[in-house]
Amino acid sequence: MRKFAVEIPNEEYWRRQVKCQYACPVNTDARGYVRAIARGDFEDAYLIARGPNPLASICGRVCGAPCEAACRRADIDAAVSIRALKRFVTEKYGAESSIEKTRKPIEMLQRVLAHRGELACSGPEELSAICDRRGGELGRNAGGKKIAIIGSGPAGLACAHDLALLGYRPVVYEMEPVPAGMLAVGIPEYRLPRDLIRAEVEVIRQLGVEFVCNTQVGKDISLARIRDEHVATVIAVGAKRSRKIPIPGGEGPGVLGGVEFLRDVSLNNRGPASTLEELGERILVIGGGNVAYDVSRTVIRQVGYDVSRSVLRQSKVREVHLCCLESLDEMPADDVEIIEGHEEGVVLHASMGPLDIVRDESGKIKGARFKRCLRVFDDQRRFAPQFDESDITTIDVDTVIWAVGQQPDLSFIDPDGDIRLTERGMIECDSDAVRTSSADVFVAGDIAYGPRLLIDAVASGKKCARTIHAHVSGERLEAHYDFVHLNISEFKREADYEKLPRAAIPTASAVERRGSQSSIVETGYAQSQATMEACRCLDCGVNTIFDSEKCILCGGCADVCPELCLKLVSCDQLVGDSNLSDLLQARYADAELSEMSAIIKDEAKCIRCALCEQRCPVGAITMERLNFSAQWAVAAES
């Protein structure tokens, strides 16, 4: 007899059904803003997207989009293009729109706050939920306690944003001449426009956040002094140094770090120590991730930029090679990076491990040798590369750029001080990756848990802000949810929504985008494209609710379901946890389970078409929208 594993729905179950939101580290209601776009409410869509995310405009360009990876629509054909839809509405109403429309950033935040009563599925990261914990006007925190944040990347910016909302005076120390850390110096301009970054930072600045740039902790100011002048200190320096694999010939001229190269391009650094000096005609980038493609594609553009200048003329780069351990299927780089890189001229060599760098008698690089990589991971998916030592490939190159990982610079921390370091030289922190061994020092972002997605860093910064608030004020906050399902009297969907293919994101041609670092690759959706793409959303906040008291077990709902996600089975075929056992015991204590029936539903297949509701002869099925909101409350003393 076939068994079916089932789960009795509870509040957590219903939240998990909104898969895009559940996958987002800051609980953005992606479903909410996508459906708002589908109905043409574009400003509403922006306000939903901005509520929990202080870097919504930046995320609309470069977020890793875990929401898309989780999207239920992918089980049918392809995920909804959630990130591109976010970009569509942030361009209309976000921080970057204030540049052209002379809107004041504070006014934009006030609109987000005013939107609080219209939120269907809001998490604890919402702007309104945070502002509930403070008094006064936005941007009026002159009397607040000073908090130092070292590093102005996404974690530092998010932390500063939320601390300012909580009434503190964040002071952000940044070693670069511009704020935003790796967002400004590590992500190429063709992916993330610099005007957009400045606009996003300006919103945070007007909340009362102070930025101190061109200031390297440990060199221009000591960590001890910063700690003396602030009630708490956040270390959010990120991973800004390239890792290199020690191989013969790997030290010396012509070998560069990818992160350093991207920084020099972003800041247009020139001089004896710059990586922008003569690159040669053949460039080799080693690495298989997005950074490796950022470097490769930036090299192609940098040469075009330099040749166009009358003062400095770069030798023509004829070849840009990218070599990586992984096979094409295993490469961590996004598919779009690989495809666009190929279009722009990046020559990919997969399944190759670096053996050595070959130099001539004068020390100049002549080439690099690689051995064939047979596998990268073992059967347990642990990193354990195996090579064919007899299969050697030599690539003639003039310059080698490493892009195999990044590491932080923590030289400003005294290893004998009260901030403990791990054996690997990282900061020791608690299980929540926020607190250090020193009560007044906290960590956020890559420095807390290693390189992750941009949105993970934002979530880490926000969590750090709440932890600091608890430390400074003694007010430990907990999130409490209010859940309700609301009946939709006339639920309708767009015609043929389940047949719509994913719309490709429009891009500039390879010829157009190769000529300049600032030539944006993705041109973004037009309004008609965005609306059509948004209509593909399955609206997972809507659920089919069954009333067992009315149901006559006719099976009509299962018969009409186009995805075959409903099934009528006997109760003895059900397998589950104690919640199932308790329910069956309460309902059928004195009956044979084989004689009792149940309707089970495969949530992964349901497309929310409402045909089951329409078919039910007794009105036992209703289409209901899940609404939930999180409120912060002071935790009770334990």
Average pLDDT over residues 309-313: 38
Pairing between β-strand 621-634 and β-strand 542-546 as defined by DSSP bridges: antiparallel
Q: Quote the pLDDT of residue 137.
A: 66
Cα Rg, the chain, nearest whole Å: 27
Name the fold adopted by 138-240+408-475: FAD/NAD(P)-binding domain (3.50.50)
Topology match between the domains 138-240+408-475 and 242-406: yes
- Indicate the domain borders of the chain: 138-240+408-475, 242-406, 537-634
Residue in this structure with the two tokens 């219903």, named with its chain if needed: 14
Instruction: Give the Å distances, CA to CA, from 392 to 43, 355, 368, 369, 524.
Output: 57, 9, 10, 7, 43
pLDDT at 584 over 80: yes
DSSP per position, 498-515? GGPPPPPPPB--HHHHHT
According to CATH, the topology of domain 242-406 is FAD/NAD(P)-binding domain (3.50.50)
Distances, alpha carbon 222 to alpha carbons 127, 230, 415, in Å: 34, 13, 14
Q: Which residues lie across from 492 on neighbouring strands? A: none
In this prediction the pTM is 0.93
Alpha helices in 115-153 (DSSP H): 127-131
pLDDT digits (tens, 9 = 90+) for 448-491: 998 899 999 999 999 999 999 999 998 887 888 888 999 998 89
For range 491-515, the mean pLDDT? 94
Q: Would the pLDDT of 312 be above 50?
A: no
97-149 pLDDT, tens digit each: 866 555 677 788 888 888 876 678 888 888 888 887 665 567 667 678 999 99
Closest to 507 in 3D by CA, of 496, 517, 493, 521: 521
* pLDDT given at position 305: 45
- What does DSSP say about strands 241-242 and 406-407: parallel, antiparallel, or unpaired? antiparallel
Residue 504 has pLDDT above 90, yes or no: yes
| Mean pLDDT calculated for residue range 330-341 | 95
* Orientation angle between helical segments 258-267 and 290-307, nearest 10 degrees: 40
Residue 493, amino acid: R
Lowest mean per-residue pLDDT among 209-223, 322-336, 456-470, 622-636:
622-636
How many CA atoms within 13 Å lie on the side-chain side of 433?
A: 17
pLDDT, tens only, 2-16: 999 999 999 999 999
Amino acid residing at 604: A
Q: Pick from 304, 76, 58: which is nearest to 193 by CA?
A: 58
| Mean pLDDT along residues 195-202 | 95
Q: Is 181 left (phi over 0), alpha (psi -120 to 50) or beta?
A: left
Contact present, 280 and 317 (Cβ < 8 Å): yes
- The rounded mean pLDDT for the chain is 91
Higher pLDDT among residues 112 and 46, named by residue: 46
User: What's 537-634's CATH class?
Assistant: alpha beta
